[in-house]
Amino acid sequence: MHHADLRELHRLMLVARRLDEEAIALQRQGVLPAYAPAKGQEAAQVGSAAALDLARDFAFPGYRDLGAAVAMGVDLVAYLATHLNIWHGGLYDPRASRLAPFNAVVGGPVTHAVGWAMGATLDDTGGAAITYFGDGASSQGDVHEAMNFAGVYRLPVVFFCQNNGWAISVPTGRQVAGGSVAARAAGYGIEGVRVDGNDVTAVFEATRTALDRAREGGGPTVIEAMTFRMGPHSTSDDPGRYRTLEEEQSWRDRDPLVRAAARLTAGEVAAAEDHATEVVREVREGLLALEAPPAEELFSFVYREPTKALLEQQRTWKESLDA
């Protein structure tokens, strides 16, 4: 997407919201073992991912970035299959979709993105990487090392922090010194931008600017999108134990979908709802129809050449089946 198209961005956000709600329902029904809800963060995810050039850029998501997958046009059944825990990293093709398998390690995708950006520089691909992480992950040492490395080598990477207010149950103020992730960029000699993470067009423009700068050799950017996780950290979390209903309500009034819909016609919003309903139906049916791959694939694609330890594990596993 070359320019911010609010109608299309709203349509994508609505798909992400309704699919997020469906994923929670599927987890409660026992279809998905676990799920990390993204409600409230749709503008940050969709707005940033929609700014990518899928012919040359690459995205490295965390475990709460469904909106990015939606905006990038990834096969959503294959993407959500990751949550079924039946195969290595989902069933979609990361190279074709330009979206890496999502990473459950806190801060894990950040170093991967920097490595990709170094490779892109060496190969002169002209592309840029974007990596997603939260305010809690920003306190991980890996993130600091990645920003420093990217700053030293002026790598084409956008560090996209979704500051949703909470590192699970710890508020940002208790774990981000100085109160700003974007402000840290100055220490690495790179650009830092704080943006309203619930304004999808503002996110799109900030990300597009950062990606353009990266591709043109201007180096990395840290974008801190200020948003709010409206639901729990995961389907096993109870946010009522650490935050108030008043705080949640104050952010509901800033719901990114409500804000976007207010700038569209009733007909456009209704059409987007119809579209989202159809997407959710197709994805639900697709997920329920999936069958587990052969169990022996558990040992496939772990290493290019199987290690002695892996082969021993495979042998032990086969013996256990015959016992």
Q: Annotated active-site positions, please?
A: 229, 233, 242
**Measured over all CA atoms, what is the biggest interatomic distance in the chain, rounded to whole angstroms?**
65
Question: How many whole angstroms separate alpha carbon 131 and alpha carbon 143?
Answer: 11
Closest listed residue to residue 233, CA positions, set 224, 221, 225, 242 = 242
Closest listed residue to residue 35, CA positions, set 80, 71, 70 = 80
Task: Find out whether 51 and 9 touch, Cβ atoms under 8 Å.
Answer: no
Q: Which residue has the tokens 């994508």?
A: 12
> How do strand 191-196 and strand 221-226 relate by DSSP bridges?
parallel
Question: How many whole angstroms separate alpha carbon 191 and alpha carbon 186?
Answer: 7
Strand, helix or coil for residue 40: coil
Helices (H), 94-198: 94-97, 108-123, 141-153
Tell whether the torsion through CA atoms of 223, 224, 226 and 229 is positive or negative: positive
- Could you tell me what percentage of the chain is helix, strand and coil, using 3-state DSSP and rounding each to the nearest 5? 50, 10, 35
Residue 205 CA: distances (Å) to CA of 50, 224, 266: 10, 13, 25
Question: How many whole angstroms separate alpha carbon 74 and alpha carbon 81?
Answer: 12
- Give the distance, in angstroms, between the CA of residue 238 and the centroid of all CA atoms in the same chain: 22
